[in-house]
Structure formats: structure tokens, C-alpha cells
Chains A and B, each alone.
Chain A
């Protein structure tokens, strides 16, 4: 079985400051992990994915995530937030039954 825990339901940052969205996972085997983003009235969009290659994964729009097996974490980071980053972010782990989602983190970016 697998599960995902997103440690923060809401994160607020100022424009130009770093972003950290935290995700811990549990899986009975070597998982693949994703981060998806949903902007208002849009579908979920893939930001990046980890599939047992490099542990530091770079995604779109300047986001990256580091897979840490010892900590069972897959935190999402960005060096400098932009107003357009305001959205809801989902950490996702693959499983036997398609995808298992975390509860989501809503990112607010203050001007």
C-alpha cells in the first residue's frame, strides 16, 4: 500500500522569496513520485516526476524536487516565487490502483 502526506494545507510566501512545499510518502516498493499543479478552473498539470533516475528532479517553471529515500520525502522547491505560482499543488505516488494523491497544498503569493 502507498500513501502521501502533504504537511501543509496552506503556504503563503512573498513574491521573490523561496517556496518549499513538503511531501512525505509511504510505499511498500520503490515508488514513482509526481508533483501536479492545479490553477483555478484548469486541469491538473504535471510539474515534475521522479522515476528512480536522478534524485534531484527539475520540472517546469523553475520548480524542482529532491527524492530522499532515507527521509521518505519528496519536497518541492523554487528559489523565487512568482505571482503566477499561486495555485494548489499535489504530491502523488504511483500505486497498483493508478495514482495516490496527497491532500494538496494551496500556495499563496503575496506582492
Chain B
């Protein structure tokens, strides 16, 4: 079974440019999460999809970030325009739908974003 995949693995862009990160969850997983780790700090929650619906986007830092999950399969996270403080590693995770909130989440390897 394929794990969570993320593309690209690395992205280097200039301030003001746009970048789109992609996450493909494990097939059949309804829950999809985005997290971010900035400059060696804690990994922080960004948002949570259940299928194509945003369940919780309270962790999104500002309106320069837009996440979508059309069709309830893969998800994209767009940063437009990118700022220096957006640099970090963006992780995606997925899990099966269950009423138990404490199940394991399966993580992808992350996308390392560098904004110059």
C-alpha cells in the first residue's frame, strides 16, 4: 500500500511568487491534515479536511494560504504571494474516517519550502 506522498520534495522561490504544494493521501482515507514546521520550531497544525470539506482551518496563518481538496482525493496548498516567514517544512497526513479522534495519522515526507 502506497503511503502519503507529497510533491515537490523541495521548492525554492522568491518573495512574492506563488507556490503550490500537493499531497496525495493514502487511498480511502477521508481525513487529510496539513501541518507546518518553521525554522526548527514545533510542527503546527494548519487545517483538516474530511473528504472535500474543510473541517477545521483555524491553524491557517493568514489569507495568503489557500487549501483545496477537490473531489476528496488529493489536496493542494497554495501560498500566494509567498513571504520570507513562510519558509519551512509542510507536512501532510491522512487517516481513515472514524469517530475516534485519537487514531494514528500517517504522514508524508514533507515539502521543504524556501522563500528567498
A residues lining the B interface (CB < 8 Å): 32, 34, 36, 41-46, 49, 51, 90, 94, 97-104
Contact = CB atoms under 8 A, between A and B. Distances in A.
Sort A-B residue pairs by CB-CB distance and give the 4 closest, nearest first.
Answer: A44-B107, A32-B102, A101-B43, A43-B107
**Interface residues of B toward A: which range?**
20 to 34
Contacts, number: 52
A43 B43 contact: no
B102 A94 contact: yes
A43 B56 contact: no
A98 B45 contact: yes
29 contacts: A34-B104, A36-B107, A41-B109, A42-B109, A43-B4, A43-B91, A43-B107, A43-B108, A44-B93, A45-B107, A46-B104, A49-B102, A49-B104, A94-B101, A97-B58, A98-B33, A98-B35, A98-B45, A98-B105, A99-B33, A99-B45, A100-B45, A101-B35, A101-B42, A101-B43, A102-B42, A103-B42, A104-B42, A104-B43
B110 interface: yes
In terms of DSSP, what is the predominant structure of the interface of chain B? loop
